[in-house]
Amino acid sequence: MSQASAEAIADTSFLVDWARYRRRDLLFQVFDVVYVPESVLRELKYPLAVDWVAESMASDKMALFTETAELEGEARRIMAMGRGRPLKRIDFPEALCLAAGLRFGYVVLTENGGAYFAPRVLGLNVAVWRAFELLLEAWRRGLVEDLAAELRRYEEETLHLFRRRDWELVCRLTRC
């Protein structure tokens, strides 16, 4: 079983959903540290997520990501690239996560459809995961025994439903 092995950067949509999940510490078994950009902190209003992020930062599981002018420029470029494309709008905090992921090799954690599909639509060389990919990775590492049951638990606790295509993949992988 593998320990944490990478770094990630999370946007608001991911943090709000993940904060509702009882097994949210799985995140820190997959990643050494999860960065939270300043712009995401400003957007974060959901009390449970605010408390969880603060506790995680205090215990060094999360860290503040300081935005630079260079990365802000790259984020704005990514936002502009998305305009006029068949892509859900990418707001600044998500674009900043994508820019940081590109620059530093972080996995971008999001539930934003525009950010999730940006690598394919815009040709960006960055890994973007939703809760689905994170739970799939946790299962691959042996941190989750029953993937389908864990995904159902996540849906029930967060009220975030996975796509039918995701469930079809789970059935192929687990032979359900």
Spatial neighbors of 88 by CB under 8 A, at least 6 apart, are: 112, 113, 114, 117
**Is the per-residue pLDDT at 3 higher than 80?**
no
**pLDDT confidence of residue 40:** 97
Question: What is the topology classification, in CATH, of domain 7-174?
Answer: Rossmann fold (3.40.50)
For the four alpha carbons of 93, 95, 100 and 106, in that order, the dihedral sign comes to positive
| Average pLDDT of the segment spanning 101-120 | 95
How many other C-beta atoms can be found within 10 angstroms of the C-beta atom of residue 45? 9
What is the pLDDT at residue 176?
Answer: 66
Mean of pLDDT values over 15-24 = 97
Cα–Cα–Cα angle for 121, 125, 126, rounded to 5 degrees: 95
Judge whether residue 76 has pLDDT over 80: yes
pLDDT at residue 2, as a whole number: 40
The pLDDT assigned to 73 comes to: 97
For range 154-175, the mean pLDDT: 89
Number of Cβ within a 10 Å radius of residue 47: 9
Name the token pair of 27: 């995140």
Asked if residue 8 lies in contact with residue 34, where contact means CB atoms within 8 angstroms, the answer is yes
Give the span between the Cα atoms of 152 and 82, in whole angstroms.
32
pLDDT single digits (tens) 28-64: 999 999 999 999 999 999 999 999 999 999 999 999 9
Claim: this prediction has a pTM higher than 0.75: yes
- Structure confidence at residue 53 (pLDDT): 98
| Residues 113-164 pLDDT 10s | 999 999 999 999 999 999 999 999 999 999 999 999 999 999 999 999 998 8
Q: Would you state the pLDDT for residue 80?
A: 93
